[in-house]
Structures are given as C-alpha cells and as structure tokens.
Amino acid sequence: MGSLHKPLDLELRFHCYRCYVLSSYLRFLMKIAILKEHQAFEKRVAATPETVRKLKAMNIDVVVEKDAGRAASYLDAAYSEAGATIAADAKAALSDADIVLKVQRPLDELSMMKRGAKLIAMLAPYNNKDALAAYGLQAIATAKRLGAVVSATDVRMAAKEQVQSLGGTFVMVEDEESKQAETSGGYAKEMSDAYKAKQATLIGDTIKKQDIVICTALIPGRQAPRLVSDAMLKTMKQGSVVIDLAAEQGGNCEGSQWGKTIEQHGVKIVSPANIASSVAVDASALYAKNILQFLTLLVDSKTGQLAINWEDEIIKATALTKDGAVVHPNFIAK
C-alpha cells in the first residue's frame, strides 16, 4: 500500500512547490498604488480601468484605494475587472508600493510610503502651465462654434497660426523681439519691459471692445504676469467678464482671487479652482494615459521592474527629488 501512495505524495509535493514558486513570483512583482484624492476640489483619479489593464499586461501588480475613481465615475468593480486589487484605505494601498500615482500632491499619505518609493503626481512646481495654455485654445474653438467674434494674444508667432486656424483674430506686438519669443521647447520667453509696455497698450485697446476676456498666461517658476490692470478694467464694458485661469499663481488680472468670483468696476472676475476637475471623467482619462506613457520610461516592459535611466532628458526634467535630496536644478537652493 505504501508504494501506491508514494507517487501521489510526490505529485502533491510537486504542486505545492509550484504554488510556492508562484507566490514568490507574485511577491517580487513591482507594485503600483493608485490613491484617492482628498482635496475638496479634486474629482480626478490618476489611473482608469483601461490603463490598469495595460499596467497588468506589463507584469505589474496594481492596487487601487477604495473609491479612488468614484468622483470621476470609475467604480471599484471596473478596476477589479481590469485586474487591480481594491485596498480598504490609503495605508493598505501603500503597503510595499514601489510607485504611487496621484493627481494632486499627497497629504498624510506621504508618511505612509515606504523608503525609496517613487511618487508620480502633479506637484505643481510651475502650476501646470501646459494645461492652462490648452484651455485657452479650447476656449477659442468653443466660442467660435457659438458664433462669437474671437481675438487672442500671445508673444509666440507659432500661436498666431493656431489661433487663426480656429477662426480667431490674432492680436500681437510684432517686432524684432517677438521673433525670438519662443524657446526650443515651445514655451514663451519672458519679454523685455519695453515689449511688455507695448503689449499692455495693445491689450488695453483690445479689451475695451470685448464682452469676455480669458487669461491663461504663466511663467515657469514665477508669479503669473499681470496683463489686465485695474485701470484696464475701468475701461471695459459694464457687465463684461474676465476669466482668469492663472489665478492660483497670482493671476493675470489685477484683483482676481483664486476659487472666487468677484465684481470690480462693473466687471465680473471669475477665477475657477481646478477647472479640469469639472470634467473629471475625460480629464482623468487623459491624465491616466499620460501617466501610463511616462511609466514606460521607468519600467522594463519584459520584467515589470523599475529600470530608471536618471540621465534621460525627460526624467531629468521631471525628477524633483532622489535619495532624500532635491535634484531638479530649478529648485536646488543656490
């Protein structure tokens, strides 16, 4: 009888060994945690079921904090179907997480992260300039569809073609300095005081005729440039509106207050807080796709493990801290 049991015993041990190898393999998978946003104004989420599915295909373990996507209409069931584990709270989600994905900067969660974990979020050292510039163009397209007469201004010549392609009239001080107003990366340079004076005169003459003025100008690492002065507001039509999307960084319009709507000289100044969050479903999808693309720079697609090239131009441009020290040149104390 003993000889009959021996092959079975060996078979059982073989299967147990396979289970051990599988469990060990799972423990060595890299883990990404997606956290719920806790700021009252933030409805977006850093990953969608679609991007979770793609992360799983890269041999990455994904854990989503309970209800992380609910405000953006992405439910836990959808994340589970995509292969994610749902954690009861942030602490459980962050346990042993190698990479943490958020939209806004972490609050209490930072102390829960393990040493050496990588945080990817909009920490807003420059207050998200690119997104605001994009809303300026979208505003032109929407206003034209509603039958409005639209004009726009920028210091970059490249913006002229973009505005005109959407049916807007471009308003710009064109001189020798304006020919060099754009950096190699496509950003606007800060202009001289002489140019700013000419630009202010042109803007002042233009907004007298407008019913709605939308401001989106930001300078990386600096307070937003003042484009609409109190004196200009006095010349605008009674009942006209200024929408200042740069208010979080000081505002383009004098007197604007982030997150508030005020009235000054009969002109309404609207300074919305986190306008992207008002369209959380689409904004989350776009942000999550961008995060997914960024992760391909950090992760070996074959092994699913971290493989960061710290000399890569994109990594160098986005890394704020490393090994407990600030490494971005724009934020290192001089």
Give the residue from 251, 250, 248, 267 showing the smallest Cα distance to 259: 248
Give the residue from 172, 141, 134, 140 showing the smallest Cα distance to 156: 172
pLDDT of residue 183: 59
Give the residue from 55, 90, 48, 84 showing the smallest Cα distance to 69: 48
- Count of domains for the chain: 2
Over residues 130-165, the pLDDT tens digits come to 444 444 766 677 777 778 888 887 777 777 888 888
Q: How far apart are CA 198 and CA 194, in angstroms?
A: 7
pLDDT of residue 234: 95
Give the CA distances from residue 324 to residues 8, 11, 320, in Å, rounded to whole numbers and listed in that order: 54, 50, 10
CATH number at residue 198: 3.40.50.720
Q: Give the number of C-alpha atoms closer than 13 A to the C-alpha of residue 86, restricted to the C-beta side.
A: 16
Q: pTM for this one?
A: 0.66
pLDDT of residue 7: 37
Is position 118 within any domain?
yes
Is position 328 within any domain?
no
**pLDDT-flagged residues of the chain (< 50):** 1-27, 126-135
Which residues are 214's β-sheet partners? 243
pLDDT of residue 4: 40
- Examine the domain organization and report whether 225 and 109 are in the same domain: no
Give the residue from 23, 35, 28, 105 showing the smallest Cα distance to 63: 35
pLDDT of residue 84: 97
Amino acid at 251: G
- Examine the domain organization and report whether 110 and 171 are in the same domain: no
pLDDT of residue 3: 42
Handedness of CA 39, 40, 44, 47 (dihedral sign): positive
Three-state DSSP class for residue 225 = coil
Give the angle subtended at the CA of 157 by the CAs of 155 and 161, to the nearest 5°. 125
Over residues 171-205, the pLDDT tens digits come to 877 776 666 656 555 556 667 778 788 888 888 88
Give the end-to-end CA distance of the chain in Å, rounded to a whole number.
Answer: 82
Domain edge (last residue) among 123, 158, 187: 123
Domain edge (last residue) among 71, 90, 123: 123
pLDDT of residue 242: 95
Domain that holds residue 95: 2-123
